[in-house]
Amino acid sequence: MSSASPRHVSVLPLEVLALLRPAPGQVFVDATVGVGGHARLLAERLVPGGRLIGLDRDAAMLELARPRLAGLPVTLVQAPFSQLRQVLDEQGVAAVDGLLADVGVCSDQLDDPQRGLSFMQPGPLDMRFDPTTGEPASALLHRLSERDLADLIWRYGEERFSRRIARRIVEARRQAPLETTVELAELVRRCVPRPAGRQRKPPIDPATRVFQALRIAVNDELGELQRLLTILPTCVRPGGRAAVISFHSLEDRLVKTAFRERSLWEVQTRKPVQASAEEVRSNPRSRSAKLRVALRLSETL
């Protein structure tokens, strides 16, 4: 990791606490510990007598979180949240009082050039949250057909020039495999025309959308979220609460649909909760965050 003290700022902290209502003696899960910001806020409210089980796929994030959570009743487990049911069984927990999943990426992961998640830093095109399993982005760029690449960039990145970018990727890889963040970012920039005229805001680097799309695909982020939402009713006790913060419209749609199951959940947020203008000013990452919370109903499965 690039820095000893984490840089990531947790989004919607007060809203998460108000809607999840952690209380002494309760058992909570933070399914995406990251650098431990939300985990700390939650765990502090579970004492005395309660505990928090924290998951993250990324061992490096758990190491950043560990000192922040020292002295609190927290168990950290490196695992994807799709395996939450097995993790709870191993921890001897039947069902929890509350769960938070703040899906996506931490600023500290973006800052580490070796992860290849940011086009701002030269590094290998890896992008895996857990670099010990799965396929790095460079392998995906090499393996997929032009059509599949275009679909991926369009679907997960909402990039209008997806077909042109996919064509250029295929042309480039015939010469040599695309291995670095800089190579990919430059290729994308050459495909996307600059906006004409004077802009009010500086234009977003076109590489942003392509890097986001690849990260979502490499980590199967939508599949992971769907698997978590499917097992969630078996992990949260009746009367317990689940909160999901998402940053992409496709993710938010999955959460909205899952919480709409009226025999299982009572929605606590009719519309997704979004960051205030003040929070967006101090933490621009919060701009696209959407928080949905549901109460687990008592019907059996």
Q: Which residues bind ligand SAM (CB under 6 A)?
A: 8, 10, 32, 34-38, 55-58, 61, 80-81, 102-106, 129, 224
C-alpha closest to that of 71 among 98, 34, 40: 40
Closer residue to ligand SAM in complex, CB, 165/222: 222
Half-sphere exposure at residue 21, Cβ-oriented, CA atoms within 13 angstroms: 9
Closer residue to ligand SAM in complex, CB, 16/192: 16
Q: Report yes or no: 241 and 19 within 8 Å, Cβ to Cβ.
A: yes
Min dist CB 105 to ligand SAM, Å, is 6
Min dist CB 56 to ligand SAM, Å, is 4
Cα gap 98→236, rounded to integer Å: 7
Closer residue to ligand SAM in complex, CB, 37/136: 37
Min dist CB 290 to ligand SAM, Å, is 13
Closer residue to ligand SAM in complex, CB, 109/181: 109
Query: Judging by beta carbons within 10 Å of its beta carbon (0-12, 13-18, 19+), is residue 294 exposed, middle or buried?
Result: buried
Classified as helix, coil or strand, 29 is: strand
Closer residue to ligand SAM in complex, CB, 74/169: 74
Cα gap 287→282, rounded to integer Å: 10
Min dist CB 34 to ligand SAM, Å, is 3
Q: DSSP state, 190?
A: H
Closer residue to ligand SAM in complex, CB, 78/162: 78
Residue type, 105: V
Min dist CB 59 to ligand SAM, Å, is 9
Q: Encode burial over 49-88: b for 16+ CB neighbours within 10 A, e otherwise.
A: ebbbbbbbbbebbbebbeebbeebebebbbbbbbbbeebb
C-alpha closest to that of 164 among 173, 154, 174: 154
Min dist CB 222 to ligand SAM, Å, is 10
Cα gap 194→190, rounded to integer Å: 9
Min dist CB 194 to ligand SAM, Å, is 31
Secondary structure percentages of the chain, helix, strand, coil, to 5: 45, 15, 40
Closer residue to ligand SAM in complex, CB, 161/221: 221
